[in-house]
Amino acid sequence: MARTDEDIASSTYRIFNYYLEYINQERETIRVLLSPNGDPYFFDKIKQIIDQLFTNKLTELNGHFSDKLPISYSMELSITNLLNIVRHWLNSPDPESPDELAEILMQSRLLAPRDLLVFD
């Protein structure tokens, strides 16, 4: 049975929300670990875990990266951008709820950087 775009989006949103709830509960610890005074390898460890989860989910959904960029660059862009948004959220003095951030992450997956700029 083929999955629809809505099924995939819903599944992705639930995954984001699940992990963000956990991160939010451990916000201070994770924020410190990601800080300049934290564990310098923590970001890379998290990136490896996310990479594996992402690859597994992509395979499960019969997905793959396009050939518009070399795959290693596509993966780097996808995963590092997610982690940097989460890091920004962790450091925010007035952070959004995990649910709101999950929505932001979902939107960020669909927008190209040029979509975020407006010229009059």
- pLDDT, one tens digit per residue, over 44-92 is 998 898 888 888 878 887 888 888 999 999 888 888 998 999 999 999 9
What pLDDT was estimated at residue 101?
94
**Long-range contacts made by residues 17-21, C-beta under 8 angstroms, separation at least 24?**
17/98, 17/99, 17/102, 20/86, 20/98, 20/99, 20/101, 20/102, 20/105, 21/98
Interval 6-56: pLDDT, tens: 766 777 778 888 888 988 999 999 999 999 899 989 989 988 988 888 888
